[in-house]
Amino acid sequence: MKLDLEHVWKALASPVRRQILDLLQRGPMGTGQVTEYFPDLSRYAVMQHLGVLEEANLILVRREGRNRYNYLNPVPLRMIYERWVNPHADRAAGTALQLKAFAEKQHQGAETMPFIDPSAGAMQAGKIVKIETEVTIEAPAATVFDAITIGMDSWWPHRFRPNGRMVFEPFVGGRCLEDWGEGAGAYHGIIVWWEPGKKFASSGPGVMYRGFNCYDVQTVIPDAENPDRCIYRKSTTFWGDVPEETERLFQKGARGLMEGALKNYVEKGICYAVPGGSTTSGE
């Protein structure tokens, strides 16, 4: 379903709903937990506010057993920034910076998967961070799935070395790594769940951030009304010794990938450009 920014503006008009978004910056909350922060409102009234936020795609609802968890989704806020604030940044720089800071502080949660990583026991030690984000992309689901897997080298911007080649092996047990040639490179993770054209999950050492592990789930959902549009969802859990600065960088990087590099590649054909060189071919 394509995001309707009119619903976003309507949702943000209520101070109660804005306060709910502020609460969800801290992490996902159950409906009962949210209700506790509004003693003057009934549970039914709070649920109505949550329903408006869900309709505007400002929150993502995930159910775990009998519990409902509400996660903040920063993508609509970022879209408002790009559509209405960024073009007028020279005339309203203060407003732009405030909205940008708000959009980049959001915390997300990870989708529950039927697969349990054997290393998940280590999640009990250290800090656990969950991030969940989704965005509508104007491209067929098959195109997006190919881009986030076998076509990764064509657009992926976060490389240790500008000329590094991204390698993705599309099968369970396959590797995701950056190849520098002659056996050198950086290992990102291994594919632990593989549904061709739909979903995959990877687990790895969090090599880009060091000191912790990462479990990443990426899903592509076709739009039933428009075959040339889909929803791309990225859910990430990482745990261990996670500094706050690293957490902020991870959130910002995930959104940049989805809203910038990936969308530009599948919607506009813009490939990764080697600094001082040419774009990658993806071959």
Residue 122 has pLDDT above 70, yes or no: no
Domain spans in the chain, listed from the N-terminal domain onward: 5-103, 118-268
Q: Specify the fold of 5-103.
A: Arc Repressor Mutant, subunit A (1.10.10)
What is the strand order of the sheet 165-168 is part of? 127-137, 230-240, 212-222, 199-204, 184-195, 175-181, 165-168
How many whole angstroms separate alpha carbon 122 and alpha carbon 240? 8
109 vs 168: which has the higher pLDDT = 168
Quick: pLDDT tens for 79-91.
776 666 555 444 4
Residue 116 has pLDDT above 60, yes or no: no
> Which residue, 114, 145, 111, 155, is CA-closest to 220?
145
Mean pLDDT of 69-86: 74
The pLDDT-based confidence of 203 (bands split at 50, 70, 90) is confident
Tell me the CATH number for domain 118-268: 3.30.530.20
Mean pLDDT of 132-143: 91
CB atoms within 10 A of CB 213: 20
Residue 236 has pLDDT above 70, yes or no: yes
> Which residue, 82, 121, 95, 60, is CA-closest to 260?
82
The pLDDT-based confidence of 124 (bands split at 50, 70, 90) is very low
Residue 149 has pLDDT above 80, yes or no: yes
Mean pLDDT of 124-143: 80
The pLDDT-based confidence of 125 (bands split at 50, 70, 90) is very low
Mean pLDDT of 55-74: 86
Mean pLDDT of 194-199: 95
Mean pLDDT of the chain: 78
Residue 107 has pLDDT above 60, yes or no: no
Residues 101, 85 contacting (CB under 8 angstroms)? no
Could you tell me the two tokens for 189? Answer: 């993770």
Does the pTM surpass 0.85? The reply is no
pLDDT at 99: 47
pLDDT at 241: 66
Residues 99, 77 contacting (CB under 8 angstroms)? yes
Could you tell me the two tokens for 153? Answer: 């080298």
pLDDT at 114: 35
Cα separations (Å) of 166 from 57, 119, 134, 280? Answer: 32, 25, 23, 10
Residues 6+ apart with CB under 8 A from 83: 5
